[in-house]
Amino acid sequence: MFRTVNWLQQIAGARSYHGRWMAAALSILLGLAFAQTAPDAPLKTTLCEIVSHPDAYNHKRVEFRAVVEPGLQDLPVDAVDATCGAEVKFLGGDDAMLSHLLKNKEFQKLAKYLTKNEVVEADITGWFARSGSGDKPEPGLVLESVARVAHRPGSAPKR
């Protein structure tokens, strides 16, 4: 930090009072610029919030914790949050994304628990989109990754 300020002071001609203030302001601005999250970082939220305000999250990368329900062939079908009744279906991604998921250790753990028909919670990251036509398009999520996969005693609800 001191070297940065000294460097900025030299650029701003910091021998004067105004130069020092300018150097300090530049230092703060640079610090804020580097402290910002990456532009592609997911929006951390809840599934209840996403489903309650779908337009605010449409076509955005999101991350939330929810229960994952089993589907066919050990793949998850949707995520639910029983506290508010929110549900979002998983949409198909491209082959590269699916290949990446299948190689991921956390996703493999998720699939193992789902095969045993257990209740599974996970941090879910993906791209939210409203799909379908009509007055009320269905919420969907292109699953990108899962983390902190954990199972709870009991079995998953039957569909």
Task: Indicate which CATH number applies to the domain containing 127.
Answer: 2.40.50.140
Mean pLDDT computed over every residue of the chain = 76
Instruction: List the one residue out of 139, 109, 137 whose CA is nearest residue 123.
Output: 109
Q: How far apart are CA 42 and CA 75, in angstroms?
A: 23
Note whether 30 and 50 are same-domain residues: no
Retrieve residue 73's tokens: 């062939």
- Residue 66, helix vs strand vs coil: strand
Note whether 55 and 88 are same-domain residues: yes
- pTM here? 0.69
Given pLDDT bands bounded at 50, 70 and 90, which one contains residue 74?
A: low
Using one digit for the tens of pLDDT, what is the confidence trace for 105-130? 999 999 888 888 888 999 999 999 98
Note whether 85 and 118 are same-domain residues: yes
Q: How far apart are CA 137 and CA 72, in angstroms?
A: 24
